């Protein structure tokens, strides 16, 4: 039996939304994007949203808007996708990698506080696999150690967490901004895309410019009132806006996200039960949280992870690794070698983890096959390898 790792939920019905944009003369960022931005403002209960053509470009535009550059530091967990740290390095700042909690795999206020220096300009907590970092606590911890009069921005990496919650709050409540990815495998997708939500107008206004080459007006705004209006270039920016052609795929994705979360929760419950008495490690649920369940990850102890992946692949099961820890990747090992010793938990999880097939609509018989095959592959692991904190 072959089991795909992931399948999206876009369908032929969504072609109509794209066709309706094709029927207009305007393909790039315009009325459709604006209405999706409004929808996202109400979903997250925030005053401002900007759609972007990826998380990466959106976060880069945001860091530029925050004035982050050479000589500055951005604190990032060592267990995440490379993009979270790369955007800091791309604008010329230093990504300061910190370790994660051994049970939840999330960055902690204590680890962030300990890494703050007078050069720290921002912190990028990552809601890994869909579980939220406690941003309210992080905000308090950061403010406590920040040098007097020095605001350290908190930018949430929500690539894994659109629909998750913690203590009743969605992302964006306690941070300066939260950045989402609508990449092909994300819970809400339009193939490639993203969004930034803002709690304040000032940062939004500047990011609106850095999102499009620092221009004071995008194409859609230049013809207001039927006449051409000149634009100015206010600052350096990049090209990070999302075209209406892709934005048109988002409304249905957003309307159905909460139903799909229930399906994800059911799949996670079935994996939990099916793998409960095995030595596989799993991230601990965060108390008071509702995970967005972007990925279902397990940890294989005893140096057997890659052998288990090969056996699952041989059985027709697609899996991925999310992620090898950043300090072990060539670039970060070369440029920030000191972080290897500082991040033992991220490193260990990065050597043990693999992600199982997981998407709404995954047939039950296929999921049962994954569970049975994985149980057989890990076989008679010694009880010394049994779960618990890493
Ligand atoms: C945690 C995390 N951050 C950032 C990104 C980057 O997203 P994008 O591909 O939209 O730039 C991803 C994408 O996989 C991710 O998983």
Whether the pLDDT of residue 381 is over 90: the answer is no
Res 218: pLDDT: 87
Q: Mean of the pLDDT values across residues 204-226? A: 91
Query: What is the rounded distance in angstroms from the CA atom of residue 207 to the CA atom of residue 49?
Result: 10
Torsion of CA 180, 183, 189, 192, to 10 degrees: 110
Ligand 1 pocket check for 83: Cβ under 6 Å: yes
CA of 228: how far to CAs of 211, 212, 241, in Å? 21, 18, 21
Per-residue pLDDT at 383 exceeds 60: no
Give residue 131 CA to ligand 1 midpoint distance, Å.
15
Is ligand 1 within 6 A of the CB of residue 86?
A: no
Q: How many CB atoms lie within 10 A of CB 18?
A: 17
Whose structure tokens read 């895309």?
193
Residue 179 Cβ inside 6 Å of ligand 1? The answer reads no
Question: What CATH number belongs to 12-255?
Answer: 3.40.640.10
C-alpha of residue 159 to centroid of ligand 1, in Å: 5
379 bridge partner residues: none
Question: For residue 101, is pLDDT > 50?
Answer: yes
DSSP 157: E
The upper half-sphere exposure of residue 228, i.e. CA atoms within 13 Å in the direction of its Cβ, equals 1
What are the respective helix, strand and coil percentages of the chain, to the nearest 5? 40, 15, 45
54 lines ligand 1 (CB under 6 A): yes
Whether ligand 1 lies within 6 angstroms of the CB of 160 is answered as: yes
Say if residue 160 is preceded by a cis peptide, omega within 30 of 0.
Answer: no
Q: How much is the pLDDT for 25? A: 87
Atom of ligand 1 nearest to the CA of 57: 11
- Nearest-CA neighbor of 188 among 253, 246, 260? 253
Mean pLDDT of 375-389: 62
Q: With respect to CATH, is domain 257-378 assigned 3.30.43.10?
A: no
- Report the mean per-residue pLDDT for the chain: 95
Query: What band does 286 get if pLDDT is binned at 50, 70 and 90?
Result: very high
What is the per-residue pLDDT for 224?
77
- The pLDDT tens digits for 123-143 are 999 999 999 999 999 999 999
Mark residue 360 as left, alpha or beta (left: phi above 0; alpha: psi -120 to 50; beta: remaining): beta
> What's the 230 CA to ligand 1 centre distance in angstroms?
35
pTM of the model: 0.96
Domain borders along the chain are 12-255, 257-378
């Amino acid at each position: 039996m072959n089991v795909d790792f992931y399948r999206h939920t876009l369908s032929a019905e969504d072609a109509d939304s794209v066709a309706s944009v094709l029927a207009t003369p305007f393909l790039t960022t315009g009325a459709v994007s604006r209405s999706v931005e409004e929808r996202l403002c109400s979903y997250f209960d925030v005053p401002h949203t900007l759609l972007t053509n990826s998380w990466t470009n959106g976060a880069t535009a945001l860091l530029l808007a925050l004035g982050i550059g050479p000589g500055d530091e951005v604190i990032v967990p060592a267990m995440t996708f490379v993009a979270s740290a790369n955007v800091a390095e791309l604008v010329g700042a230093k990504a300061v990698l910190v370790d994660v909690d051994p049970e939840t795999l999330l960055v902690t206020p204590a680890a962030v506080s300990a890494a703050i220096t007078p050069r720290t300009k921002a912190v990028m907590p990552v809601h890994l696999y869909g579980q939220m970092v406690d941003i309210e606590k992080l905000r308090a911890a950061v403010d406590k150690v920040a040098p007097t009069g020095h605001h350290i921005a908190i930018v949430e990496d929500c690539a894994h967490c659109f629909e998750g919650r913690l203590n009743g709050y969605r992302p964006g409540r306690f941070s300066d901004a939260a950045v989402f990815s609508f990449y092909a495998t994300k819970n809400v997708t339009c193939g490639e895309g993203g969004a930034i939500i803002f709690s304040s107008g000032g940062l939004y206004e500047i990011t609106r410019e850095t999102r499009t080459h620092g221009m004071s007006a995008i194409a859609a705004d230049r013809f207001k009132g039927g006449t051409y209006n000149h634009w100015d270039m206010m600052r350096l920016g990049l090209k990070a806006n999302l075209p209406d052609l892709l934005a048109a795929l988002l409304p249905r994705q957003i309307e159905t996200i909460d139903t799909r979360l229930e399906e994800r929760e059911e799949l996670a419950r079935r994996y939990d039960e099916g793998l409960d008495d095995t030595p596989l490690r799993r991230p601990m649920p965060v108390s008071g949280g509702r995970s967005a369940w972007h990925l279902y990850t397990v940890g294989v102890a005893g140096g057997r992870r890659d052998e288990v992946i090969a056996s699952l692949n041989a059985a027709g099961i697609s899996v991925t690794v999310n992620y090898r820890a950043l300090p072990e990747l060539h670039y970060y090992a070369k440029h920030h070698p000191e972080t290897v010793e500082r991040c033992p938990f991220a490193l260990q999880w990065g050597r043990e983890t693999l992600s199982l097939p997981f998407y709404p609509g995954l047939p039950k018989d296929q999921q049962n096959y994954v569970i049975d095959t994985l149980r057989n592959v890990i076989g008679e692991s010694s009880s010394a390898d049994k779960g618990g904190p890493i």
